[in-house]
Amino acid sequence: MSGYKPEARHCPWDFKSFFRARPLPHTVMPTRSGAYTTSNGEPMVMELGDLLIQPNWVWHDHVNNSKEPIIWIDALDAGVVSFLDASGFREEWAEGKQQPLTKTNGASRRLYGPARQPKVEYNGAAGVPYHYKWGEALQALKELADQGIDDPYDGLFIEYKNPVDGGHTFLTMTCHIQMLQPGQETRFHRHTGTVLYHTVQGRGVTIVDKNSPVEMQWDEHDSFSLPAWRWHAHKNLSQTEPAILFSVTDRPLLKMTGLDREENG
């Protein structure tokens, strides 16, 4: 897993050339509305906190029609793709720098949501593009809180499920969002797989290792990484406001190879 690319930004009235490639990207937590990613002809309009996924070999480009720069994070599995010597596949669109808009915003959610055609064609890609809305993820977290469904190791914790098969977000990576309620401190646990975090809201600290603990303090919009098989716990430093962390991990790859492990402290 190569991790986050925080340099992914676009100036006012800018666009990024149209291409498709083997490493799969997904766009995480744009700073504001106004830009869109065109994916297989659909303009996925970015809003604060949204998650957009583009499986490998899906045509996509980015456009910012607003008057302000917009910054987001790309996460890719380029590391494992390079290790497998499959990173040389990249194709530029032959008919210009931007693909034509052949669908309307929200098409992927309508095509691949809970009510969909019985069989979904991937057309050579590793999955389907999809647009997860921040408002729905936040409502799911709040519903967990209302129902008292709280994980002792991760707080209010949900996974962005693959829209077609209900599995992990991707074959090689999966995404989570978690909420720590005011003053909450989770228990220690550890697991295989690297985890990359991005702070959506709030401030807190992640304690790494139990014998010689190291505290990583984080604030809104901070990003940090957690190596594999390290004891860790999270703490929300606010007594009045929740803290929200987005994360992406390569544990699905370890599960496929029978190497995934987890231990609770």
Q: What pLDDT is stored for residue 93 in this prediction?
A: 62
Q: What pLDDT is stored for residue 30 in this prediction?
A: 66
To 5 degrees, how large is the angle CA 38–CA 39–CA 44? 55
- How many C-alpha atoms does 241 have within 13 Å on its Cβ side? 10
Q: What pLDDT is stored for residue 65 in this prediction?
A: 82
Distance (Å, whole) CA 75 – CA 132: 15
To 5 degrees, how large is the angle CA 208–CA 211–CA 216? 20
One-letter amino acid at 97 equals K
Q: What pLDDT is stored for residue 57 in this prediction?
A: 74
Give the start-end residues of each E strand in 34-108: 35-39, 42-45, 51-53, 60-64, 70-71, 73-76, 90-92
One-letter amino acid at 134 equals W
Of residues 229 and 54, the one with the higher pLDDT is: 229
Distance (Å, whole) CA 160 – CA 141: 12
pLDDT in tens, 160-216: 999 999 999 988 899 999 999 999 999 999 999 999 999 999 999 999 999 999 999
Lowest mean pLDDT segment, chosen from 75-89, 112-126, 232-246? 75-89
Determine the 3-state secondary structure of 126 from DSSP: coil
Q: How many CB atoms lie within 10 A of CB 59?
A: 17
For tokens 């008292």, the residue is: 148
Average predicted confidence (pLDDT) for the chain: 85
